[in-house]
Amino acid sequence: MSLDECHIGGNVATNAGGGKAIKYGVTVRYVAGLEVITPGGEVMEVGGKLLKDATGYNLIGLLAGSEGTLGVFTRIVLRLLPVPRARTDLFCLFPAAADAIAAVPRLMTETGIVPASCEFMDREAYAAACRYLQEPEPPEDADAMLLVTLDGAEEAEVRRQARAVARLCEAAGATDLREAEDEAAAEAYWTIRRNIGKAFNAAAAFQGDEDLVVPPASIPRLVDRLRALAEQYGPAMPAYGHAADGNIHVHILPPADWTLQRWDAVLPRLLDDLYADLARLGGRISAEHGIGLKRKAHMPAVVSPVYLRSLRALKRALDPRGLLNPGKIFE
> Footprint of a copy of itself on residues 31-60 (CB under 8 A)?
38, 40, 42-46, 48-60
Q: Please state the three-class secondary structure of the chain as a single string.
A: CCCCCCCHHHHHHCCCCCCCHHHHCCHHHHEEEEEEECCCCCEEEEECCCCCCCCCCCHHHHHCCCCCCCCEEEEEEECCCCCCCEEEEEEEEECCHHHHHHHHHHHHHHHCCCCCEEEEEEHHHHHHHHHHHCCCCCCCCCCEEEEEEEEECCHHHHHHHHHHHHHHHHHCCCCEEEECCCHHHHHHHHHHHHCHHHHHHHHCCCCEEEEEECCHHHHHHHHHHHHHHHHHHCCECCEEEEHHHCEEEEEEECCCCCCHHHHHHHHHHHHHHHHHHHHHCCCECECCCCCCCCCHHHHHHHCCHHHHHHHHHHHHHHCCCCCCCCCCCCC
Side-chain-side CA neighbours of 20 within 13 Å: the count stands at: 15
Nearer to a copy of itself, 213 or 270 (CB): 213
Say what angle helices 97-111 and 219-233 make with each other, to 10 degrees: 170
Smallest distance, a copy of itself to C-beta of residue 21, A: 6
Whether 149 contacts 141, CB under 8 Å? no
Which of the residues 158 through 217 are near a copy of itself (CB under 8 A)?
160-161, 211, 213-217
Smallest distance, a copy of itself to C-beta of residue 9, A: 16
Stretch that binds a copy of itself, among 3-11, 97-105, 197-205, 238-246 (CB under 8 A): 238-246
Among 66, 117, 149, 195, binds a copy of itself (CB under 8 A): 66
Which of the residues 13 through 32 are near a copy of itself (CB under 8 A)?
14-15, 17, 21-22, 25-26, 28-29
Smallest distance, a copy of itself to C-beta of residue 282, A: 5
Nearer to a copy of itself, 98 or 114 (CB): 114
Stretch that binds a copy of itself, among 123-131, 177-185, 221-229, 286-294 (CB under 8 A): 286-294
Among 204, 291, 324, 325, binds a copy of itself (CB under 8 A): 291
Smallest distance, a copy of itself to C-beta of residue 207, A: 21
Smallest distance, a copy of itself to C-beta of residue 155, A: 10
Nearer to a copy of itself, 218 or 254 (CB): 218
Smallest distance, a copy of itself to C-beta of residue 318, A: 6
Nearer to a copy of itself, 139 or 320 (CB): 320
Nearer to a copy of itself, 23 or 131 (CB): 23
Which of the residues 91 through 130 are near a copy of itself (CB under 8 A)?
108, 112-114
Query: Is 310 a residue that touches a copy of itself (CB under 8 A)?
Result: yes
DSSP 92-118: EEESSHHHHHHHHHHHHHHH----SEE
Among 5, 7, 81, 184, binds a copy of itself (CB under 8 A): 81
Nearer to a copy of itself, 16 or 204 (CB): 16
Among 205, 231, 317, 321, binds a copy of itself (CB under 8 A): 317
